[in-house]
Chain A
């Protein structure tokens, strides 16, 4: 207590109370320059000016063949000057504000109560003009590029956007199949891995119970050891290498068992192989996630269940695992996002996913950067959508069930 009082005393003595009087109603003094400049009309004047500058820039871009403003050249010039005028007025208003400084509110005509609504309505006009320019230059420009690209007989030269549109259009079947395969691999792989991980984590966390006979004891120790080794090996090697080992390993086993190459291919298709690889790989990671979630459950929960007479298995199944899985939901759903991205390495064994489709298209047209950039955008969209959906889902799971937060009990 004494310490706190002393600190208080020091603080008040070094910093005297702010003097009362006229200074107190001048907040602009204490604020930074940025705050002062933005004050009063952050959006109407300044924000809209930035927009107007964008509009001016757009209006100076070349018109495309599909431009709807082309026949109305006079109108376009008029719109352009409105934008310029708006920027000029904003600059003027800003200068006035700086000039009058602290009492600009009283003296600047731009800050008067009459001017403010007018400024606001004019700003809507500016917005509308910029939208028109955006539609004419950007949207119609893009539409024109698309229509030119897809009606072209050969890859457009010199324009990467046009080139990638042409390629994606020409190879749309390939890309569709690739994207679908990527989604299937990630979704099915994650779901299968979740159930395998549940099994494996159950084996992993077994501890010999005092009632177990020697055989059960042996099984538990072996099972737990297997899960440990599995996790170490899988998480310690690249999925690409795992894919190659499993794909060719199983393939040659099938061949050795007397099947022809065609028969072996029919059974062990690249898709099946890819799904197996991604599932087995993800299982190891998900097991670790689940183990973390289960170990985070208060050991008192298990003890309480055991004290009522439940067996180890019953207590785990009814009490501990449900809480552990719930703890793990955020990290588990992250696995889906990771699998969407990491399935790309499976193209190495010939799985026809988005990566393979991109490789194919890039090879056909000998155009790398634009095609791979397109692949990147598609991966980004897929992962973004997946993580948003999973967020919704986990929120619903969290809110919909009885109890989300592990409590003190």
Chain B
């Protein structure tokens, strides 16, 4: 896993500095405190998975990273820019932060190709043909070029999610956020989406993945963050978290997922 970054060209932003940094993040919905003082960072090329029980605030944390949810307190840094700063151009920074949703959220009024080209054409002042060429490259990477002209409703869930990934990649993001990308899928097609994500990780994409797919967390991620009731209860390398969880809540949570599997898996 460590050598997967070796082939990557050095980045302008130092490889030893966090690409995304979350400091003292707090968020409440009404009287419900969903995030309580979250501190987290993501290094370039790193794949971080966030696991935890339902309602522990995983989605909210992810949505705070690209400011779809605005934090009540604390800061979110992307490289050396404070996203939560009052003068920050959030729209421009969101171009660098791709996001994939549980519900796909493909634009229902467009076909697959237009879904992919809308943002590049609108924001990067790319010509339509240029954007389409780039879109076709990304659709090819997820194996869906033959559906380029199809309406999005004609796709299966797995295909929709792969289009959503391709759409996000068309903006050439530096980090990708995934919020339970396979939770709305039938078990037999979860694999096709996870494979695309695995490829992406192997190419060195920086990823933050909220997931209930423990095998993915264990095998693909560099670091696992366990959230419990709005705080990060425990984090560490997957082999440590999955074999020697320190926190009792982590143990309890993992026991539910791992009870059927052999311990060394």
Contact = CB atoms under 8 A, between A and B. Distances in A.
B95 A308 contact: yes
Interface in B146-182: 151-153, 160, 164, 167-168, 171
Contact of B122 (A211, A307, A318): A318
A403 B99 contact: no
Interface in B59-113: 66-68, 70, 88-95, 97-99, 101, 103-111
A405 interface: yes
Interface in A278-320: 298, 300-301, 303-311, 314, 318-319
A58 B67 CA distance: 79
Nearest to A402: B151
A307 B70 contact: no
A218 B97 CA distance: 30
Nearest to B115: A304
Contacts of A318: 107, 118, 122
A13 interface: no
B108 A309 contact: no
B103 A319 contact: no
Interface residues of A, number: 28
A402 B115 CA distance: 12
A309 B95 contact: yes
B123 interface: yes
B68 A319 contact: no
B43 interface: no
Contact of A310 (B106, B119, B164): B119
A123 interface: no
A396 B171 CA distance: 34
Contacts of B109: 319, 322-323, 326, 401-403
B146 to A, nearest CB: 17
A403 B108 contact: yes
Contacts of B98: 307-308
B201 to A, nearest CB: 20
A406 B70 CA distance: 28
A15 interface: no
A156 B260 CA distance: 97
A185 to B, nearest CB: 33
Given A318-B122, A407-B152, A305 B111 contact: no
Contact of B105 (A298, A322, A326): A298
Nearest to A403: B151
A408 interface: yes
Given A210-B67, A210-B70, A311-B91, A303 B101 contact: yes
Contacts of A408: 103
B89 to A, nearest CB: 7
Given A307-B66, A310-B122, A407-B152, A301 B92 contact: no
B99 A307 contact: yes
A409 interface: yes
A210 B93 CA distance: 14
Contact of B92 (A309, A314, A323): A309
A300 B95 contact: no
A211 B101 contact: no
A5 B111 CA distance: 48
Given A211-B89, A308-B94, A409-B160, A303 B105 contact: yes
Contact of B119 (A301, A303, A308, A406): A308
Nearest to B160: A409
A316 B107 CA distance: 12
B46 to A, nearest CB: 20
Interface in B97-147: 97-99, 101, 103-111, 118-119, 122-123
Given A303-B105, A310-B123, A326-B109, A405 B153 contact: yes
Contacts of A303: 68, 101, 105
Contacts of B164: 304
Contacts of B90: 210-211
Nearest to B167: A308
Contact of B94 (A306, A319, A402, A403): A306
14 contacts: A304-B107, A307-B68, A308-B167, A309-B94, A311-B91, A318-B107, A322-B109, A402-B110, A402-B111, A405-B153, A407-B108, A409-B104, A409-B105, A409-B152
Interface of A: 210-211, 298, 300-301, 303-311, 314, 318-319, 322-323, 326, 401-403, 405-409
The list of the 9 closest CB pairs from A to B, nearest first, reads A309-B95, A304-B105, A308-B119, A300-B105, A409-B104, A307-B99, A309-B94, A403-B151, A407-B153
